[in-house]
């Protein structure tokens, strides 16, 4: 690669920056560098300023993603070890075993959803809820992946805009 291309010069300068103090910042930096490298390889002619803006934007977004993920993990996890008032480790809380009341409530919620959706849309929604991959669903239904995602959005939107959405929100918060 030529040394006179501004994008490559800036990328070389980014690689020589000191490592950040936190693991999250380091991970965000690495992810952003990977993306910028792929973009510079695909098009080595962009201006160095454009690459700089893209890099810092990606790094900021990746760091925000990692911080948000850590905050979600704190909500789902509880500390198991405490030393001097600080958390040393966390363990993922296991969902409690379903009892008869939970099964009855899920059945009633499913019946409510059935009142606003046709049977094929309800079965589609159950497949999405069961965690079936969009690619598998697309192949089984002879659709594109984007078509499956669009249909999932429309079905969820139909449930959200129905009269039972407040009941569902209240029931799912328990």
Supply the CATH number for residue 127's domain.
Answer: 1.10.10
1 falls within a domain: no
Measured in degrees and rounded to the nearest 5, phi and psi for residue 16 equal: -90, -5
Greater confidence (108 vs 78) lies with 108
Asked which of 81-90, 98-107, 111-120 is least confident by mean pLDDT, the reply is: 81-90
Q: What percent of the chain has pLDDT over 70?
A: 66
Q: How many Cβ atoms from other residues are within 10 Å of residue 48's Cβ? A: 15
Looking at the structure, do residues 62 and 107 belong to the same domain, yes or no?
Answer: no
Contact 9, 51 (CB under 8 A): no
81 falls within a domain: yes
Mean pLDDT for the chain overall: 76
pLDDT-derived band at 50 (thresholds 50, 70, 90) equals confident
Asked which of 72-81, 105-114, 135-144 is least confident by mean pLDDT, the reply is: 72-81
Looking at the structure, do residues 48 and 126 belong to the same domain, yes or no?
Answer: no
For 40-70, give the secondary structure using H, E and C. HHHCCCCCHHHHHHHHHHHHHHHHHHHHHHH
Structural domain including 80 reads: 6-92
Looking at the structure, do residues 111 and 153 belong to the same domain, yes or no?
Answer: yes
Residue 69: predicted pLDDT: 82
Contact 12, 1 (CB under 8 A): no
Looking at the structure, do residues 54 and 73 belong to the same domain, yes or no?
Answer: yes
Using the 3D structure, point to which of 92, 120, 155 is the last residue of a domain.
92
Using the 3D structure, point to which of 92, 124, 157 is the last residue of a domain.
92
Looking at the structure, do residues 140 and 119 belong to the same domain, yes or no?
Answer: yes
pLDDT-derived band at 150 (thresholds 50, 70, 90) equals very high
Using the 3D structure, point to which of 70, 92, 114 is the last residue of a domain.
92
Considering its fold, how many domains does the chain have in total? 2
Mean pLDDT within 126-142: 89
User: What distances in angstroms separate CA 10 from CA 46, 90, 91, one per listed residue?
Assistant: 11, 40, 42
Contact 8, 2 (CB under 8 A): yes
Residue 88: predicted pLDDT: 47
Mean pLDDT within 33-54: 78
Q: Is the pLDDT of residue 1 over 70?
A: no
């Amino acid at each position: 690669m030529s040394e006179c291309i501004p994008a490559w010069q800036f990328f070389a300068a980014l690689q020589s920056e000191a490592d950040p103090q936190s693991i999250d910042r380091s991970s965000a930096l690495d992810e952003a560098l990977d993306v910028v490298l792929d973009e510079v390889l695909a098009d080595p002619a962009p201006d160095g300023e454009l690459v700089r803006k893209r890099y810092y934007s990606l790094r900021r977004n990746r760091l925000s993603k990692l911080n948000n993920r850590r905050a979600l993990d704190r909500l789902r996890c509880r500390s198991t070890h405490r030393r001097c008032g600080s958390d040393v480790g966390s363990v993922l809380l296991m969902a409690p075993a379903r009892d008869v009341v939970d099964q009855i409530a899920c059945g009633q919620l499913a019946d409510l959803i059935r009142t606003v959706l046709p049977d094929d849309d309800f079965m589609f929604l159950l497949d999405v809820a069961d965690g079936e991959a969009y690619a598998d669903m697309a192949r089984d239904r002879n659709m594109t992946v984007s078509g499956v995602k669009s249909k999932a959005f429309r079905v969820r939107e139909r449930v959200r805009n129905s009269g039972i959405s407040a009941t569902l929100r209240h029931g799912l918060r328990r």
